[in-house]
Amino acid sequence: MTIIDNRARNQLLGVLFLGVLMGALDIAIVGPALPASQKALGIDARAAAWIFTIYVLFNLIGTALMAKLSDIFGRRSIYILDVTLFAIGSLIVALSPGFGVLLAGRAVQGLGAGGIFPVAGAVIGDTFPPEKRGGALGMIGAVFGLAFLIGPILGGMLLYFASWPWLFIVNLPIAAAVIMMGIRLLPATRPARRRSFDLPGMAMLAVLLTSLVYGINRLDAAHFFASLTTPGVWPFLLFAIMLMPVFWLIERNAADPVLRLSLFRSRQIALAGALAGGAGLAEAAIVFVPQLLIAAYGVSASTASYMLLPIVLAMAVGAPLSGRIMDRVGSRVVIVACATLASAGMLLVNAFAVNLALFYIAATLVGLGLSVLLGTAPRYIMLNEAPPSDRASAQGILTLSSSIGQMIGGALVGAVAASYGAGVLGYAAAFMVVGVVLLLLALASLGLKGRAEELATVRRDETAPGAQPVRS
């Protein structure tokens, strides 16, 4: 672990905070941009979905790629590369003359954003002592609450006074600040032993994910099961399934795999991945809340966005608070409690259509629960369980799991809602399904280690004779 003083550590946390804020803001702002960009480009709803889908796809690829590259070439250089790519992609989107160029820009954005989150988590693992990691991760987790708080307001203002390209131009000054600060403050840590890059594994993962995403995008939510048998869906999903064992064989035999599958032998890490996937599922569901509010109350799109404030305020408060609590009592208690809160909130949404006060209570519960599940808790587990040399790869697994959860969540909510007419009953039923999934995750989390076992694992790993040192 690289030893730095408290002042330098706080400055470093500020750089990571600002970089993650930039990526999180894009997630929060893209929602309001979709209807405006769809109208401006003259595309249908299925084509417009690719504005989000291609970002998620390249985010998934970038997660594995950038996490591994940071293990090879060092945290600072790859983190700055990620931010630079994100800025270039934002500029391409803002200046795009047509739909194809816009998709190319979104792909570049997703590739860069995929590395920002796992590399930031790995930097914290490299520079923060175990007793302070929960608080640091809590601060990073609070970024998502802050971004979702600022995002609807900023998006609404930019759409009112300017046009949708400005929703992406806003990323450029933030990226410039992160790059300048990062060059000066980020430690150039890397493993002492330079490792090879698993190109076959990366290529196979990209093809597998591309096939999976295309197949999901072509599903007909109104006739979900029937659409699975259509020529535009089943060949791509089947191809993705067939590639999974091939990818597993490649990774098992690789000298230094893109995804270190051996990490999943740990029950803790497997549960952390499941929690990240469930959080992604719930995060995707939140995207549909404004549509539910519009259907239930007949409010405008901007008003529906502001009605999400209880969720984002609860996330902003819950993330740093939960991080400090985990440093004291461990992750199991906090995760079980927060997964239960998020589940209860999703289940309550089913009844909010006739009771606005109940909706705000449900929204607060969801925000408090997701403030932990979206960032702090799974990353806390990974930092404790993964060897120092694989920390970035372990963080990448979480981002990968979360992104897959987002993809499945979007398809699931859309399918259930469409089955009930895409109105109030449809979206309420969809949120109930998500609530049941979160409840199952809360029960599974009872299998996590207690605080004493966590501390024993941390002390063992930090003092292990074979632990790889890092160099600056």
pLDDT per residue over 320-372, tens digit each? 777 778 777 777 888 888 889 999 998 887 666 557 788 888 889 988 888 88
Chain segment 198-240, per-residue pLDDT in tens: 778 878 888 887 888 778 777 765 666 777 888 878 899 999 9
pLDDT digits (tens, 9 = 90+) for 425-455: 777 878 888 899 999 999 988 888 777 676 6
pLDDT of residue 392: 65
Nearest to 410 by CA among 141, 57, 44: 57
The residue among 86, 95, 83, 21 whose CA lies nearest residue 55 is 86
List the end-to-end C-alpha distance of the chain, in Å, as a whole number: 10
Which stretch of DSSP H or E encloses residue 417?
helix 391-419
CA distance 296 to 309: 17
For residue 9, what pLDDT is reported?
A: 75
DSSP 130-175: HHHHHHHHHHHHHHHHHHHHHHHHHHHHHHHHS-TTHHHHTHHHHH
Find the helix or strand (DSSP H, E) in which 471 lies. strand 470-471
Task: Give pLDDT, residue 308.
Answer: 76
Question: Is the pLDDT at 49 greater than 60, yes or no?
Answer: yes
d(CA 28, CA 144): 9
- Tens digits of residue pLDDT in 149-182: 677 677 767 777 777 888 889 889 989 999 998 8
What integer pLDDT is reported at residue 440 of this predicted model?
Answer: 93
Lowest mean pLDDT among 246-260, 353-367, 385-399: 385-399
pLDDT (0 to 100) of residue 93 = 92
Query: What is the number of other CB atoms lying within 10 angstroms of the CB of residue 457?
Result: 17
Percent of the chain with pLDDT over 70: 80
pLDDT, mean over the chain: 78
Domain ranges of the chain: 1-188, 201-253, 265-463
Residue 377: what residue type?
Answer: A
Q: Which residues are CB-neighbours of 77 under 8 A, at least 6 positions away?
A: 188
Q: Taking CA 63 as the corner, what is the angle to CA 9 and CA 390, rounded to the nearest 5 degrees?
A: 60
Equal fold, 1-188 vs 265-463: yes
The predicted structure's pLDDT at residue 472 = 32
Phi/psi at 258 (5° precision):
-60, -45
CATH 3.10.310.10 fits 265-463, yes or no: no
Q: Which CATH number fits domain 1-188: 1.10.3720.10, 1.20.1250.20, 1.10.1060.10, 3.40.50.740?
A: 1.20.1250.20
Closest by CA to 121, choosing from 402, 395, 385, is 395
Cα separation, 33 vs 156, whole angstroms: 9
C-alpha to C-alpha distances, 253 to 59, 208, 248, 257, 421, nearest whole angstrom: 25, 18, 9, 8, 48
pLDDT at 189: 65
User: Among the ranges 63-67, 125-129, 180-184, 260-264, which has the highest mean pLDDT value?
Assistant: 180-184
pLDDT at 86: 94
